[in-house]
């Protein structure tokens, strides 16, 4: 009885791995088409006796892409990729980071853009005040729209919102 269940299990594993392989090949080709990049993929089968499946199919194209990648990696034009495990093990930094430093860094907001543009320093104060007034009006309008959507356009909630917004601006 065991050999029959074993063969069924092997067949199921084989079908599962072939489905996964087809899915990976499809995703890799979609990535290549949509992002207009060259993609190389080498998948080794579970049983190491058969040849690996490659994308692109022809061997010279695979070797060319591998050489291109290694050349770019050695020249430094490819950014180094790090996984979370690399940071935990200290591979990226050469030492383990202290948890306190990581927590502080996580709690600090990361601003990509400056909060103040240097050109605003050159503007007269009247213009800055009018800009502030304009932005406050926009902010109250946006807040009102948010409250309308949150409260499903409830008229009482909108009226309460309008009253509090006008009270804040006065």
Q: What is the pLDDT of residue 70?
A: 84
Give the model confidence (pLDDT) of 25-38 as tens digits: 999 989 889 888 88
Would you call 118 exposed, middle or buried from its count of C-beta atoms within 10 A (0-12, 13-18, 19+)? exposed
**Domain annotation covers residue 91:** no
**Domain annotation covers residue 70:** yes
Tally the domains of the chain: 2
Q: Which domain holds residue 140?
A: 132-169
Residue 158: CB atoms within 10 Å: 15
**Domain annotation covers residue 84:** no
Instruction: Please give the residue that has the higher pLDDT: either 99 or 5.
Output: 5
In this prediction, residue 170 has a pLDDT band, given cuts at 50, 70 and 90, of: very low
Instruction: Please give the residue that has the higher pLDDT: either 18 or 117.
Output: 18
In this prediction, residue 104 has a pLDDT band, given cuts at 50, 70 and 90, of: low
CB of 67 closer than 8 Å to CB of 40: no
**Domain annotation covers residue 125:** no
| Chain mean position to CA 111 | 17
Q: How far apart are CA 161 and CA 142, in angstroms?
A: 11
Q: How far apart are CA 92 and CA 85, in angstroms?
A: 10
Give the 3-state secondary structure percentages of the chain, helix then strand then coil, rounded to 5: 65, 5, 30
Q: What is the pLDDT of residue 68?
A: 86
Q: Could you give the angle at the alpha carbon of 155 between the alpha carbons of 151 and 160, nearest 5°?
A: 80
CB of 140 closer than 8 Å to CB of 169: yes
**80 secondary structure, DSSP code:** P
Q: What is the pLDDT of residue 135?
A: 92
Q: What is the pLDDT of residue 169?
A: 47
In this prediction, residue 122 has a pLDDT band, given cuts at 50, 70 and 90, of: confident
Final residue of a structural domain among 75, 106, 140: 75
Final residue of a structural domain among 49, 75, 101: 75
**Domain annotation covers residue 151:** yes
In this prediction, residue 109 has a pLDDT band, given cuts at 50, 70 and 90, of: low
Q: What is the arithmetic mean of pLDDT over 137-143?
A: 92
Q: What is the pLDDT of residue 15?
A: 85
In this prediction, residue 7 has a pLDDT band, given cuts at 50, 70 and 90, of: confident
């Amino acid at each position: 009885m065991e050999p029959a269940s074993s063969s069924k299990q092997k067949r199921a594993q084989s079908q599962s791995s072939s489905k996964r392989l087809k899915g990976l090949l499809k995703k890799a080709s979609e990535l290549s088409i949509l992002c207009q990049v060259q993609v190389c993929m080498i998948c080794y089968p579970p049983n190491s006796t058969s040849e690996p499946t490659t994308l692109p199919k022809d061997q010279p194209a695979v070797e060319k892409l591998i050489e291109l990648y290694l050349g770019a990696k050695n020249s430094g034009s490819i950014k180094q990729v790090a996984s979370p495990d690399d940071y935990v093990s200290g591979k990226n930094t050469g030492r383990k980071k202290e948890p306190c430093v990581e927590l502080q860094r996580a709690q600090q907001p990361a601003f990509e853009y400056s909060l103040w543009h240097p050109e605003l320093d050159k503007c007269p104060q009247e213009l800055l005040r009018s800009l502030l007034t304009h932005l406050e009006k926009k902010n109250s309008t946006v807040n009102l729209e948010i409250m309308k959507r949150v409260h499903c356009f409830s008229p009482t909630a909108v009226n309460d919102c309008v009253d509090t917004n006008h009270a804040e601006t006065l």
